[in-house]
Amino acid sequence: MMKRLGCSLIALCLLAACITEIDFEANDTQFIAINGVISNNPTERLITFYENVPTNAGISGKLLKDGQVIAELEPVKRRSLRVPDFVRIEEGADYQLEIATSEGEVYMTQPQTVLPPRRPASLSMDIESRLLEGKDGTLFEQNFINVFAEMQVAEQEAPFFVRLQMDESWAFMEVDDPRVEGDSIFLCYIERDISTFPSAVWSSGNQAPGLKQVLVASRVVDNSFLRKHYFNVYTYPITELAHTYYRNAQKIIQNSGTLLDEIPAALKGNVFDKNDPERQVFGLVEFAIPDTIRLPVNGLTVRIPDPCGVDQPCANPRPDGTLPFCECADCLLIPGSSYQKPSYFE
């Protein structure tokens, strides 16, 4: 499962691979930002166009492959375009976008060669106990799962760059009515959106040969681990320019604690003004064929807090003790839930 929210604008939900809207104060200097991640996943085809001084100009776009137009972009809403479903991104091909406004401005991305997929050698995890402070000032212990990708660096290999993104899914037990004998018991499945987790970016530069452990994401241990749980990691081979772009975004967020006016000055990517190449245009459009690897989790040895997942105390279990009623909720009330078992679930 890999869903991506359609977002508008130029800031990363700290590298969440999702461009999130930010309210910039309008000023006398107009700037443009164009962002998107284009892959063969139907949820990764959205291009967002942002201007800090809004105009009434319409936008249209084209996708070029090896210098030739292969598709017109489809309008989604006023400031978003989409690559059509029939387009397949191919390894080794050069892709560009051309975005034109009804006022005659034309913006393009630099040609990008689609790099071969780069799969981690494996995924692993550990459980870390952290001491946190509650709202009332008291300290409490919370368990986290850290998910790692092991990236292989070969002898004398040229530096490579990756962006790693994670989503997750798990099984949940549902019971119609635990107070009624003979009620129905069945599983439903929850899939958490890819935008929930930040992206991790990593470079093999200056790394010695061998396996290198890269932290992909951290996750609180909660009642979603009562049964089978999957972490799904998507590895995007990216250019050095894209790696620099994402790292700059991370530094801005860490240093300033805000995504306000500093973002445009720092986030120069691969977009330029075709009519005026010296003009500053911001944003990044990424073309990639991501690789998918999954980590199943079943049977954690740590205590799972609040196994009920509800506010009230857990009801008494059945006489045979097989099922705590607190796990029995209406699954379809949970975002991303379904009775359809994902194809990769064992």
- Comparing 237 with 181, which gets the higher pLDDT? 237
9 near 37, Cβ under 8 Å?
no
Whole-prediction pTM: 0.80
DSSP 282: B
**Is residue 3 pLDDT above 50, yes or no?**
no
Over the stretch 244-259, which tens digit does the pLDDT of each residue have?
998 888 777 655 443 3
Q: Which two tokens stand for residue 72?
A: 């017109």
Over the stretch 180-191, which tens digit does the pLDDT of each residue have?
455 556 678 888
**Is residue 4 pLDDT above 50, yes or no?**
no
Q: Which two tokens stand for residue 258?
A: 């805000």
Domain ranges (residues) in the chain: 11-115+250-289, 122-236+292-338
Q: Which two tokens stand for residue 143?
A: 């368990």
For 273, residues 6+ apart whose C-beta sits below 8 A from its C-beta are 32, 105, 106, 107, 279, 281
DSSP string covering 225-268: GSS-EEEEEEEEEE-HHHHHHHHHHHHHHHHHS--STHHHHH--
Look at residue 260 in the predicted model and tell me its pLDDT: 31
d(CA 148, CA 135): 30
Q: Give the chain's end-to-end CA distance (angstroms, integer).
A: 15
